[in-house]
Structure 1
Amino acid sequence: MIPFKSQQEQAAALQLDADGNLKHFLTLDGLDRALLIDILDRSKGFVGVAQQAVKKVPLCRGKIVANLFFETSTRTRTTFELAAKRLSADVLNLNISTSATAKGETLLDTLRNLEAMHVDMFVVRHADSGAAHFIATHVAPPVAVINAGDGCYSHPTQAMLDMFTIREHKRDFAGLTVAIVGDVLHSRVARSQIVALNTLGVDEVRVVGPSTLVPERAEAALGVRVCHDLREGLRDVDVIILLRLQNERMDGGFLPSEHEYFHLFGLTEKRLGIAKPDAIVMHPGPINRGVEMDSSVADGARSVILEQVSNGLAVRMAVMSMCIGTQNLALAAAGKAAEAELADG
């Protein structure tokens, strides 16, 4: 088995160019705090685009982005599509169920054909962990790959939009206690959130859930505090992140029933009172009301769930522009330098 530090180093080497700039965005493993803060700061600059009369900026003009979603998605796929369009890129949405892949064409052959169409970026969601990494190792060097969720492993843009939302409400990460409640075992979102929170320097990350839905040796492997009692897990926390029960990834008796789960771990107004008075409630969606939380909590004053969706646009614009938009800026700078040289001549 490859040591964890070596895995982080390999991930960083694949995602960053020689100058430390993003060329792919596959996982938060191996990325330092300064880069995560840079993503958050750039995202802040894109929030205002939604209020403009013309909701577009030219950073990715002339670029082609292909959305390759091998799993169903609503929020992630549509926000990536809208983010690309707001950056002035052209977008291809590949319908996997009717594509040549469904007819037996290999994934690599599909990629090669899309590369022949001069695609600049692949946004990939896949049921297999490591799929985005695999694609990134096989694309031509100028092509960028963004991981939109792979198996149970990673969902880096979701984690970063969650970090952005937390910072908007709490201003700083230092001193925060964050509880992640629910199906951590099957959650790629939770794994990315934990890496981000620890990298950004929160005081404590708590993983809260039944023992069947918490990874073995999570405290040592993930750097968290594990709580199997909801009251203990929520006590005096600043942020509560609820996770969906991923029944499609469960092949055994992980839970007696959804009713029993809600009885023990569902968030109600009363249980929310255990957290700090200004604690915020988050959920990556989709929500199973009456399972992960009451509707009164989901729609309540402390819920920031819809803000997460809005912030997802800004964060994905930031990441996409960092991966391929800088190429346009570099070309523009080179063009201006050439013009200046000719003028001097």
Structure 2
Amino acid sequence: MIGRRITYRMADGRRIPGTWRHAFIRNGGTHFLTDLVVYADGLVDCWGLVTLDELAQQLRSGWVATDLPDGGKASAHGLAAWTFAEPRSWLTPELLLAEIRDDIDRLNGRPDATGRCLAAVRAFLADRTEENRAVAREGYLAIPETKRHYALGDMDSKDWPLRVLVAGPGGRVDGWPDDPDKTVSPEMYDSAVAYFEDRFRPAAERPSQLPEDGPPTPHAPAIHVSHTFPRERVDDPGTMGLRNNYPAPIEVDGVTYPTVAHAYWALSAAGPAARAGIAEAGFDVHTVAAAAARREGWEHVRTAVMAKLLRAKYARHADLAAILLATGDATLLYDDVGADYWGDNAGAGRNWIGRLLELVRSELRMQQYGI
């Protein structure tokens, strides 16, 4: 549960809410007790901001440690140091990742695994088919095992009524005390149904004054468009294809440029000779552009120019448009070292390219839907 463990970070002038939990980071043979900070946009700070996919890799590698070895060294950063003796950890990498996904859902005001399970139970009570019971059971099993006892917020019954309900009459309840072969009796099942009928008894709710037009925050975790230097097109570039310097020719006002980066810097230059030189530059386009003077007032139009160039890129290259669309509704964090206006740069920048990519993605989706 998040409870009062609320924090935030600032990114592009926005306040990104977060929460934290204790974790061990294994570095140089020592397990350091630290705070793992989880943010609503799907980034996690474990000695550096990472995406959920990157966190999963760190869990698999043991950098974020859930396996604590007997005799291993531990430190609490100058507060204390000790050696593990018969340590027990309640978490596996999979369980910790599942709990963090729940944290992100709650930070965004979305139902977490427990909320989705209880919604499935409501649906079953409204239409008591075995298919709906199976969905409710899947929802129960999707709750991180460490959190199932607390699913109902009832420390007397714990999750017993839930386990009985999803098992059904004659079914077996996982973790039955004393007798694992015992099945659910009709009386036990009726008691569980009554428990939930009382719990979900309808309450008067005022209708919303505004129509719902979609979630306020993305469902997909954030995606890093990492800083790379692609030199040629490849069959499956992944997010590298979203880089402005990825080889993807575009035409602007009758001139063809090898990349968005070439077009942007050429258009920024004050004189025609400088523009032509930048357009013909190779991989050192930034170096060539740095030697040219900028157009007067360029800072006031550069964002609109970039939007125009990105639209041209994805209109012309269907394969790259498909990569962009495949990011769903994820927040796109575009790293651009040395350019804090365009890049996110670990939260230090304004991430304008990431934001414009999200805009172009929405426009491409609109075309798909024929709107």
TM class, shorter-chain normalised? under 0.3
The structure with the larger Rg is 2
Q: Answer 1 or 2: higher relative contact order, Cα 8 Å, separation at least 6.
A: 1
Q: Whose helix proportion is higher, 1 or 2?
A: 1
Normalising by structure 2, we get a TM-score of: 0.26
Normalising by structure 1, we get a TM-score of: 0.27
